[in-house]
């Protein structure tokens, strides 16, 4: 097996929606959350498109056992030949 070095970098998004003082809890069933999921998908596409402009790097998804609605892991790989 070839020698491999790894380094981790995290993009983390935390969505938050504020409500007026008289709001009585999660009555809306997180109605605002699908909008966030759409934004997250757009950001993910932008990240992948940016990486694709650098052909020496290959990007692939990695599933870490969490729902893709909660976490997306991308592995960015490059091979150095001597």
Determine, yes or no, domain membership for 70.
yes
Determine, yes or no, domain membership for 24.
no
What is the rounded CA–CA span in Å between residue 2 and residue 64? 24
Tell me the per-residue pLDDT of 15-49, one tens digit each, with 9 for 90 and over.
888 888 888 777 677 888 888 889 999 999 999 99
**Structural element, H or E, at residue 78:** none
Domain that holds residue 54: 33-77
Q: Which residue has the higher pLDDT, 45 or 66?
A: 45
What is the rounded CA–CA span in Å between residue 15 and residue 34? 11
Determine, yes or no, domain membership for 2.
no
For tokens 């020496």, the residue is: 56
Determine, yes or no, domain membership for 56.
yes
Q: Give the chain's end-to-end CA distance (angstroms, integer).
A: 16
Determine, yes or no, domain membership for 10.
no
Determine, yes or no, domain membership for 18.
no
Report the predicted TM-score, pTM, of the whole model to 2 decimal places: 0.74
Q: How far is CA 49 from the centre of its chain?
A: 13
Count how many domains the chain has.
Answer: 1
């Amino acid at each position: 097996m070839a020698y491999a070095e790894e380094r981790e970098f995290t993009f983390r998004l935390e969505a938050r929606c504020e409500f007026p003082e008289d709001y009585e809890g999660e009555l809306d069933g997180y109605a605002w959350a699908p909008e966030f999921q759409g934004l997250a998908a757009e950001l993910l596409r932008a990240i992948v498109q940016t990486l694709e402009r650098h052909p020496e790097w290959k990007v692939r998804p990695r599933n870490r056992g969490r729902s893709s609605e909660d976490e997306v892991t991308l592995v960015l790989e490059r091979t150095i030949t001597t």
